[in-house]
Amino acid sequence: MKRRTFLGGAMAVAVVGQGSRALAQQPPIKIGMSMPQTGGLAGGGKASLLGIEIWRDDINAKGGLLGRKVELVVYDDKSSASETPAIYSKLVDVDKVDLLFAPYATVPTAPIMPFVKQRGLLLMGNFSFQVNSKVGHDMWFNNAPWGPADSWAASFIDLAQKAGGKNMALLAADQEFAQNLALTARDVAKKRNVPVVFDQSYPPNTVEFASIIRGLKAAKPDIVYVASYPPDSAGILRAVNEIGIGDDVKVFGGGMVGLQFAAVMGNLGSLLNGVVNYNTWLPEPSMYHAGTKEFFEVYTKRAVEAKVDPLGYYLAPYGYAMGQMIDAAVNATKSLDQKGLAKYLRENEHKTIVGPIAFSADGEWKESATVQAQFRGVVDKDIEQFRKPGKQVILYPDKLKTGTLVSPFEAARK
């Protein structure tokens, strides 16, 4: 009896409460995605997701999109390609989401490209590399600043040639991303007549790099291009520190994944000095745009409780930028029509916290904004130091440049 009265009361309150709001409120706009939250890509995935969540909270604080609240529907793809087809089918066919974001990284994204093309759906890409080159979907827009496929290697080899580099050594992990980088590096080297004097891939999970580095040193290269994954990046730098790399080497680094993550950076400390490596966002004066500073203030607070990368430079602001682009497109077209949104995204330049973004026909950035930066004056066991400018000096591209290359590598390491 008592329970029934309570239930009745609760129901009545709920109905009355609903009634007054239901008139004003439309259903939320749902944005669906999978995100690696377990497995090898989880660290990046969680940071990226936090960036997207911060955007969601900001947009909802402003009253949402088209006057509707924004809701994220997120599933874990376990960093695996085999999970995403079913997840995206669920998002589209069952959850009936309004918009799709791609998961972080290439491997989970690749299987859903044909699916979104077939269904004619807009997909905002999230840091995958050349995933649309074979599929040719005209409603794909990558948030990552890679730009044209070869610009990555080209920027590094440019720098090295200006510093007097004549020949190159190539060291790459046997992993999807690193191998893609190595392929473009070989192409660019061939075009520029830079002979490759050492070209080696090593299996994933390699821990001891001494013998590889000795072999590399013996080849006497001027340029050392490394495409590695987080655990190996650390192993390679330790081996270089123990064995040395020779005075010929003008520039070392280029495609080392992991040196963007706070945990790895903190762990390596002074071993990073002198390395020139790619990055997407750095706390250098040239990289602040409207809203960037505010974003990182919020991120830094929330990263602690979310237990993600405390710095969040590499992925998080680009997650936020995905949201900003969708915001701009939805507001401009005043609809959620996928074709209209895609048309708007393709034809306009978008202001975001990571700078202006314009797309070319393949959905990649028209111009690469991947920076090459050199680590300077890094000390051991201090993550906070990386928040200051000057620790990673931007050498490339020119419009973001904040310093000049210190070369040769051995001199820069001091």
C-beta separation of 269 from 378 below 8 A: yes
- Using CB under 8 A, pick the residue from 29, 49, 105, 110 that binds other proteins: 110
C-alpha angle 87-177-396 in degrees, rounded to nearest 5: 120
Rounded Cα distance, 193 and 118, in Å: 42
Number of residues that bind other proteins (CB under 8 A): 38
Residue whose CB is less far from other proteins, 19 or 203: 203
- Terminal-residue alpha carbon distance, the chain: 80
C-beta separation of 168 from 189 below 8 A: yes
Rounded Cα distance, 402 and 376, in Å: 12
Residue whose CB is less far from other proteins, 90 or 339: 90
CB of 315 to other proteins, least distance (A): 19
- Of 189, 193, 188, 241, which Cα lies nearest the Cα of 217? 241
- Using CB under 8 A, pick the residue from 53, 58, 83, 284 that binds other proteins: 83
Q: Which of residues 176-235 bind other proteins (CB under 8 A)?
A: 176, 178-180, 183, 201, 203-204
Rounded Cα distance, 172 and 233, in Å: 10
Residue whose CB is less far from other proteins, 9 or 114: 114
DSSP, res 389: T
Q: How many helices and strands in the chain, by DSSP H and E?
A: 14, 14
CB of 94 to other proteins, least distance (A): 5
Residue whose CB is less far from other proteins, 27 or 114: 114
- Using CB under 8 A, pick the residue from 66, 69, 71, 90 that binds other proteins: 90
- Using CB under 8 A, pick the residue from 58, 65, 75, 258 that binds other proteins: 75
Q: Which residue has the tokens 């000095």?
A: 273
Residue whose CB is less far from other proteins, 114 or 285: 114
- Using CB under 8 A, pick the residue from 18, 25, 26, 38 that binds other proteins: 38
Q: Which of residues 253-292 bind other proteins (CB under 8 A)?
A: none
Residue whose CB is less far from other proteins, 130 or 270: 130
Query: Which of the ranges 154-162, 173-181, 218-226, 386-394 carries the binding residues for other proteins, by CB under 8 A?
Result: 173-181
By the rule CB under 8 A, 78 interacts with other proteins: yes
- Using CB under 8 A, pick the residue from 45, 51, 111, 266 that binds other proteins: 111
- Of 251, 269, 286, which Cα lies nearest the Cα of 389? 286
CB of 135 to other proteins, least distance (A): 7
Rounded Cα distance, 376 and 391, in Å: 5
Residue whose CB is less far from other proteins, 177 or 386: 177
By the rule CB under 8 A, 174 interacts with other proteins: yes
C-beta separation of 129 from 177 below 8 A: yes
Residue whose CB is less far from other proteins, 8 or 114: 114
Rounded Cα distance, 107 and 176, in Å: 8
3-state secondary structure of 168: strand
Alpha-carbon dihedral sign for residues 348, 352, 355, 357: negative
Rounded Cα distance, 43 and 48, in Å: 9
State the residues that interact with other proteins by CB under 8 A.
37-38, 74-78, 80-83, 85-87, 89-90, 93-94, 106-107, 110-111, 113-114, 131, 134-135, 173-176, 178-180, 183, 201, 203-204
